């Protein structure tokens, strides 16, 4: 089974150490020599803020904030409160209105919260104003996601991609953000070009770094393209899906490997490729980064080489967590993201995972209702798994299968389905090689 639990991976890699925009700055102090955090100083606490428009249903607002809280936890912060303000559109100056801001400020001061996390991207001026007003770290959704990626990235490519995303995030916000660039410049006015103001110098340094990272990625890209070419004409299958749905668990199951999987968002940032042989049909299976709603576009752009794995696949296996209440929205987010990266037209198998959890949740819900604890008659009853299967088998254009990677339910059927599709693709590619193995 997949490995679980916190790895305590607080180490910054040496190449990104000085460039990480780390949301954990005001919390545990980082040792400048080792780049590691002293986590004994207690956990960071975060306050969440969302400004949904007035039409957004309550359940959706709650679900979005649940996800933001999960992201915050993954980044190492404990959430102590959620603030919601329904507005037609966010306040241009401070994102929330004056009254709400005062409320947040009072709470932050009183509880000594270490950061405030906003469920949207903030502009440079909003960042600046909020920081001046609240006097704690201000983190927006994009930065939170980038920060998680920064902690997870291991390969040279992923690290370079994350760093590029960090600098692209930073560039338009230089006036609003921390002055940590001082350290990078080697400090002092001497580095400043003639007639340059500090902010101009900062911008120049960041732009230079962005150019450098782009060049470096091009180099790395060349290497991996050569690598991919050497894989020959083997059929390539990519696992895609929302984050935390069980892609890596499934990868491990199908390829008998040990890819890191855990109950946190974005456990996988690097892509992994394994050769799998099912009934004499060889193919390459790749596990890759999960998608999420409002994934910063710049992050998608920076992760181009990782996403190439998906773009160049012959078949996509779209994994869905059926036990998640928002699974339908997740499917839509994944399909939209695939469209965005130009991979929407590929053949696809839809794998509904975590049926064990769905059954468990349904049983718990039933018990709850039965005991009269939740006698909400307006609420539509949860469909049974059989009903869901019937609906989705009929509704989807792509082949559909329901499994539990964790409990090994229907895995043989999945293997058979996969074999059938890979073999068909293989025959298509090598029409003259009937019965032979191509390599
Ligand atoms: N109940 C249940 N849990 C599962 C199942 N498959 C995976 N999980 C759990 O779901 C969590 C996420 O699994 P991963 O395999 O890391 O998911 P992922 O899609 O690779 O996630 P990211 O890499 O973060 O995008 C882990 O805690 C798994 O143990 C399943 O069939 N049932
Ligand atoms: Mg994974």
Ligand 1 pocket, CB under 6 A? 2, 4, 241, 243-249, 261-263, 265-268, 290, 353-354, 356-357, 404-406
In the structure encoding, which two tokens stand for residue 36, read together? 């590691």
276 annotated ligand-binding residue? no
**What does the pLDDT look like over 263-291, one tens digit per residue?**
777 777 777 888 888 888 889 999 988 99
ipTM of the shown complex: 0.99
Pairing of strands 281-287, 272-278: antiparallel
- Please state the atom number of ligand 1 nearest to the C-alpha of residue 319: 19
Bridge partners, 235 (sequence order)? 283
Q: In whole angstroms, how far apart are CA 142 and each of 121, 173, 236, 308, 394?
A: 6, 13, 31, 22, 37
C-alpha 74/C-alpha 8 separation (Å) is 11
**What does the pLDDT look like over 110-162, one tens digit per residue?**
999 999 999 999 998 999 999 999 999 999 999 999 998 888 888 888 899 99
The reported pLDDT for the residue numbered 200 is 79
Can you give the C-alpha Rg of the chain in angstroms?
A: 24
166 annotated ligand-binding residue? no
C-alpha 143/C-alpha 130 separation (Å) is 15
Per DSSP, 95 falls in state B
- Give me ligand 1 centre to Cα 354, in Å: 8
The reported pLDDT for the residue numbered 349 is 96
- Ligand 1 pocket test: which of 151, 244, 272 has the largest number of ligand atoms within 8 Å of its C-beta? 244
Architecture of domain 233-429: 3-Layer(aba) Sandwich (3.40)
226 annotated ligand-binding residue? no
- Please state the atom number of ligand 1 nearest to the C-alpha of residue 1: 29
C-alpha 59/C-alpha 18 separation (Å) is 41
C-alpha 54/C-alpha 209 separation (Å) is 41
The reported pLDDT for the residue numbered 258 is 62
Q: Which of 109-118, 188-197, 379-388 has the highest mean pLDDT?
A: 109-118
Which residues have C-beta within 8 Å of that of residue 39, sequence separation ≥ 6? Answer: 8, 10, 28
The reported pLDDT for the residue numbered 9 is 32
CB 133 within 8 A of CB 101: yes
The reported pLDDT for the residue numbered 17 is 32
Instruction: Kindly tell me if the per-residue pLDDT of 214 is higher than 90.
Output: yes
Residue given tokens 């968002």 in the structure block: 265
Widest pairwise Cα distance in the chain? 76
Pairing of strands 272-278, 115-118: unpaired
- Ligand 1 pocket test: which of 1, 249, 251, 352 has the largest number of ligand atoms within 8 Å of its C-beta? 249
Instruction: Kindly tell me if the per-residue pLDDT of 80 is higher than 80.
Output: yes
**Domain 43-150 class?**
alpha beta
- Ligand 1 pocket test: which of 285, 406, 411 has the largest number of ligand atoms within 8 Å of its C-beta? 406
355 annotated ligand-binding residue? yes
CB 321 within 8 A of CB 327: yes
179 annotated ligand-binding residue? no
Residue given tokens 């291991």 in the structure block: 154
C-alpha 309/C-alpha 312 separation (Å) is 6
| pLDDT, mean of residues 296-319 | 86
- Please state the atom number of ligand 1 nearest to the C-alpha of residue 266: 24
CB 310 within 8 A of CB 290: no
Give domain limits for the chain: 43-150, 152-220, 233-429
- Give me ligand 1 centre to Cα 406, in Å: 8
In the structure encoding, which two tokens stand for residue 9, read together? 């991976």
Same fold for the pair 43-150 and 233-429 = yes
Instruction: Kindly tell me if the per-residue pLDDT of 323 is higher than 70.
Output: yes
CB 61 within 8 A of CB 131: no
The reported pLDDT for the residue numbered 30 is 47
Q: Between vectors from CA 57 to CA 54 and to CA 63, what angle results, nearest 5°?
A: 120
- Please state the atom number of ligand 1 nearest to the C-alpha of residue 409: 31
Q: Return the ligand number nearest the Cα of 261.
A: 1
- Give me ligand 2 centre to Cα 343, in Å: 19
302 annotated ligand-binding residue? no
């Amino acid at each position: 089974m997949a490995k679980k639990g916190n790895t305590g991976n607080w180490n910054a890699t040496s190449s990104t150490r000085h460039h990480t925009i780390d949301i954990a700055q005001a919390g545990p102090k980082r040792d400048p020599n080792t780049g590691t955090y002293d986590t004994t100083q207690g956990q960071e606490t975060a306050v969440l803020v969302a400004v949904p428009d007035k039409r957004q249903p309550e359940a959706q607002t709650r679900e979005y904030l649940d996800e933001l809280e999960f992201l915050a936890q993954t980044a190492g912060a404990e959430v102590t409160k959620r603030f919601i303000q329904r507005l037609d559109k966010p306040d241009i100056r401070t994102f929330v209105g004056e009254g709400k801001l005062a409320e947040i400020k009072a709470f932050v001061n009183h509880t000594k919260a270490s950061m405030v996390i906003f469920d949207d991207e903030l502009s440079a001026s909003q960042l600046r104003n909020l920081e001046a007003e609240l006097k704690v770290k201000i983190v927006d959704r994009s930065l939170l996601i980038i920060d998680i990626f920064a902690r997870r990235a291991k390969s040279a490519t992923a690290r370079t991609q994350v760093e590029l995303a960090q600098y692209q995030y930073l560039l338009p916000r230089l006036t609003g953000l921390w002055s940590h660039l001082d350290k990078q410049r080697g400090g002092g006015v001497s580095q400043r070009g003639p007639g340059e103001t500090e902010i101009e110098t900062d911008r120049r340094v960041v732009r230079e770094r962005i150019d450098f990272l782009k060049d470096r990625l091009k180099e790395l890209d060349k290497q991996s393209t050569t690598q991919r070419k050497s894989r020959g004409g083997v059929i390539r299958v990519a696992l895609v899906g929302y984050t935390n749905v069980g892609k890596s668990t499934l990868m491990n199951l199908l390829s008998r490997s040990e890819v890191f999987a855990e109950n946190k968002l974005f456990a996988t940032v690097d892509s992994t490729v394994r050769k799998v042989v099912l009934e004499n049909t060889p193919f390459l299976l790749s596990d890759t980064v999960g998608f999420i709603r409002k994934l910063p576009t710049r992050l998608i752009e920076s992760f181009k080489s990782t996403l190439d794995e998906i773009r160049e696949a012959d078949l996509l296996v779209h994994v869905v967590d059926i036990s998640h209440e928002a699974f339908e929205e997740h499917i839509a987010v994944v399909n939209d993201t695939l469209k965005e990266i130009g991979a929407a037209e590929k053949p696809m198998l839809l794998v509904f995972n975590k049926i064990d959890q769905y059954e468990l949740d349904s049983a718990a819900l039933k018990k709850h209702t039965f005991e009269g604890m939740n006698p909400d008659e307006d609420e539509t009853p949860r469909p049974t798994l059989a009903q869901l299967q019937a609906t989705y088998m009929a509704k989807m254009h792509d082949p559909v299968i329901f499994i539990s990677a964790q409990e090994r339910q229907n895995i043989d059927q999945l293997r058979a389905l996969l074999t059938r599709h890979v073999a068909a693709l293989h025959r298509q590619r090598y029409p003259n090689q009937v019965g032979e193995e191509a390599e």
